[in-house]
Structure 1
């Protein structure tokens, strides 16, 4: 009975996620149409809102400028982590018959094209797009790995749950873990890339 309630909630969440995705797609389509219609007006607005590099640097707080090297230093371990996780997925996922995660679904570079951003803001957008996309990419790889090897919910409340977590077995539910783990592994083969 308890599992039925959870399954119903998961189904509602999936329905709401689909509805949200459809609504966001409509908004995106509307935005795209408006851009097409008002391209020149938009470009003029972007030129007006563009803040030159010298003005940007002059108005940026000194501590922000001094902290920039620390922020950018994180890119080195991020690239290394990206390489290691990608190699792990390329080698291990075919062995386990897990559908691979597509990087381009998570790491998206597009905001740097906005005309109202100066070169530093564009560079910052590239950094954030890469880093946050990388975290999503890694989370999805880790989530699929966890679903394959250890699909058990935690006893304590979890602040962040990857997409696969809601499929996991209750903490202490040894019967389902032993009897249905193969189903969750099979589900990983069917997931869309």
Structure 2
């Protein structure tokens, strides 16, 4: 990997750190504090949130009909998602120790804090739970697969692909065979040190 690419990757990492800091600063102004897994708002904010909650019957009447009609299709995906969760978790649990890869913490990806928002009714909270689970699961699975790819085949594609994971840009260039086995071993060793 050339120096320019390394320089750009370092700049990207610095920008991502700045973005996280800016988002955290904005969240601090939202008048809530995180206490363990619990998000706590000031009492005045909680009271204002409760006043904004739409009761179930009003929500049902004002909801878009297409949302109600497609609901069963959307929620039927919970079965394959749970099966996928079980399979990927079992794969990581059984294989990562053998490969010496640090396991991905599921709790870093599956976060269910939207249910604590007082302005959501129970149906809206259920929607949020479903989306939290589905998107969190995809992030969890993506990181497991990214670590697997970094272990077995850390080589970029010849063709441009969209939506690469964060490890991809550090992979070996397509067709760069110089010292492949030694560099592959470096990737493997680094995976045991992931925090």
Q: Matched residues in 2 for 1:163 and 1:41: separation? A: 40
Structure 1 gap ranges (5+)? none
TM-score normalized with structure 1 length: 0.92
> Which of 60, 70, 74 is matched with 2:73 structurally?
70
Of residues 71-80 and 24-33 in structure 1, the stretch that sits farther from structure 2 once superposed is: 24-33
Contact 1:152–1:177 under 8 Å retained in 2: no
Of residues 96-105 and 161-170 in structure 1, the stretch that sits farther from structure 2 once superposed is: 161-170
Question: Which 4+ residue blocks in structure 1 deviate beyond 6 angstroms?
Answer: 34-38
Q: Which residue of 1 aligns with 2:92?
A: 89
Q: Which residue of 1 aligns with 2:22?
A: 23
1:29-44 matches, within 5 Å, as 29-32=28-31, 39-44=42-47
> Which of 112, 117, 132 is matched with 2:115 structurally?
112
Contact 2:32–2:42 under 8 Å retained in 1: no
Structure 2 CA distance for partners of 1:34 and 1:84, relative to 1, 3 Å: closer
Structure 2 gap ranges (5+)? none
TM-score normalized with structure 2 length: 0.92
1:1-193 matches, within 5 Å, as 3-32=2-31, 39-192=42-195
What is the aligned-residue RMSD (CA, Å)?
2.0
Q: Matched residues in 1 for 2:23 and 2:179: separation? A: 37
Q: Matched residues in 1 for 2:52 and 2:180: separation? A: 56
Q: Matched residues in 2 for 1:182 and 1:16: separation? A: 29
Structure 2 CA distance for partners of 1:23 and 1:41, relative to 1, 3 Å: same
Q: CA deviation at 1:27?
A: 2.2
Number of equivalent positions: 191
Structure 1 or 2: more helix by fraction: 1
